[in-house]
Amino acid sequence: MPIEQSGCGTFRTKPVPRWGLLALLALGLSAPAAFAQNNLSGVSSNACPSPQEWQQATLMQLAAWAEACDDNAFFHAHRGAQLLAQSQTDAAAVSLEKALLLNPDLPGAQLDYAQALAQIGLQGSARAILQNVLQRPDIQPNLKAQLSTVQTGSAAARVGSAPLWQWNGLIQTAYGRESNLNSATHTDSLTLYLSNGPVTLGLTDNAKPVAGEAFKSTAALQGVMRGAGGQELSVNLTLAAKTGAASVNGNNRTAEGALKYSLPMLAGNASGFWQLTAGSTEFWLGNQTAYQDQGLQLKYAWDSLGAACKWAPAIGRIDQQFPQSSTLNGVYTYGRIDWVCSSSKNQETHLALGGGQDKAQDISRPGGHRERKDILLRHEQIVNMALWPVVSGQLSAWLRYAHSQDKLAYSELLGDLKSSTRRTDLGLGYWVPVTKQWHIGLNLEATSQKSNNTLFNLKNSSVYMGVRWAND
């Protein structure tokens, strides 16, 4: 499972575990026989060529006949088997899924579909399909024995030996410049409403934005343990720091940790998984803790291979604490839905919409309860430069938008002002591999925060160039 790191996304094919290799061997021996006995008989169509013609056709010819044979389950099963043999796994899974939607009672297609799912990484769904095939009364005894051996051997291996963890790591450091290194308010003055009338105060120079250089460093570690039935437990740890800044408040550190438990589910030919996540964050400004949180999230993700986009709704709760100003503490409860679309292995687009209520834990919190809405749009793509292959790399672009609306006036000194704040973050990154594990790259980011409360106005732009090491 790849490390989830903002600005550092990569595209990786999930490895097939040892049980999967055994299953693929058994399926490779048995599926053609099952296919021949179950899938190439009784086919007739005026528009669609005969099964004998399918056997002699190339993948290109089969693709050309796909529309004419659109309602022929046997054709899609045969085409899926051929695509699978050519290692075109994603396309094979789509074709085999269509065959099973048209005719779920095709054991050969079921076996090929299980093989495709295993290669993609959906081992739990693959095992569930194999188990369904084993329950068929018409399955050949020798084939049943082979599949049973694979299932039993896999379970015994998991029970009889200690669970194995797979670890991935990432280290990145970059040097750059920011226009607002100290995250200062982007305003020259502030108007206060006193008993004798409004008074406008000018901000001192040390309260204004300060440009400067700094180092940004990130270290991330992820461990994944897979269990019986496709269950998965993962641990994610991330440390990030900005150091070397000459400006006061320019240096900070962030630590994040998450524990995730995933349980695969299978319904017909669609698959997915439940995921429960417990996480925590701590943010230090200088040497003092400025922010902490602990959260829980429950998500269900659909893994239907027939659709270009997969989606996952989630609900969650985050307890937020501000040790230096406890009146700001709150509890954020939210709903969220994610869409992830992949037209190929080389590109992926992620859209997330979320919103909820941040309830104040102290009735005296400035602004009281707060409504929040969030949008995330991220696109990652492998760029192949035909003329200059040496600069081929991974392009990442992202947009985050957030809106918060206070229920009460923020402060009597600011009048009857209920803060409404909108924040937009734009980013662009390009990283080029130097070796298998080492990359060099550039990140550009811009932040704009606008509010009717001038205390919250903020602008910043940054450029960082660095090096990354990733062990995957």
- pLDDT at res. 115: 79
**Count of CB atoms within 10 A of residue 13's CB?**
11
Nearest to 131 by CA among 274, 228, 1: 228
Q: Which residue has the higher pLDDT, 190 or 181?
A: 181
Q: Average pLDDT of 98-123?
A: 78
pLDDT at position 176 = 96
Radius of gyration (C-alpha) of the chain in whole angstroms? 28
Q: How far apart are CA 462 and CA 212, in angstroms?
A: 10
Please, are residues 350 and 378 in contact by the beta-carbon 8 Å criterion? yes
Rounded CA-CA distance 259/243 in Å is 28
The per-residue pLDDT for 190 is 65
With H, G, I as helix, E, B as strand and everything else as coil, classify residue 61.
helix
1: closest CA among 195, 218, 220? 220
Give the pLDDT score at 305: 54
Q: How far apart are CA 115 and CA 121, in angstroms?
A: 10
Over range 446-451, report the average pLDDT: 96
Q: Band of the pLDDT at 203, cuts 50, 70, 90?
A: low
Under the banding of pLDDT at 50, 70 and 90, the label for residue 413 is confident
| Nearest C-alpha neighbor of 296 from the set 312, 311, 316 | 316
Please give the biggest Cα pair distance in the chain: 95
Q: Is residue 463 very low, low, confident or very high in pLDDT (cuts 50, 70, 90)? A: very high
Could you tell me the pTM of the whole model? 0.67
Cβ contact 313:335 at 8 Å: yes
Domains, the chain, in order of start with CATH, read 18-160 (1.25.40.10), 165-471 (2.40.160.40)
Burial 231-250 (b: 16+ CB within 10 A, else e): bbebebebebbbeebebeeb
Question: 52-61, 173-182, 389-398: lowest mean pLDDT where?
Answer: 52-61
At 427, is the pLDDT very low, low, confident or very high (cuts 50, 70, 90)?
very high
Mean pLDDT rounded to a whole number for the chain: 80
On the question of pLDDT at 98 being above 50, the answer is yes
Q: For 1-22, what is the mean pLDDT?
A: 36
Residue that the structure tokens 């990283």 belong to: 431
Q: How far apart are CA 127 and CA 230, in angstroms?
A: 8
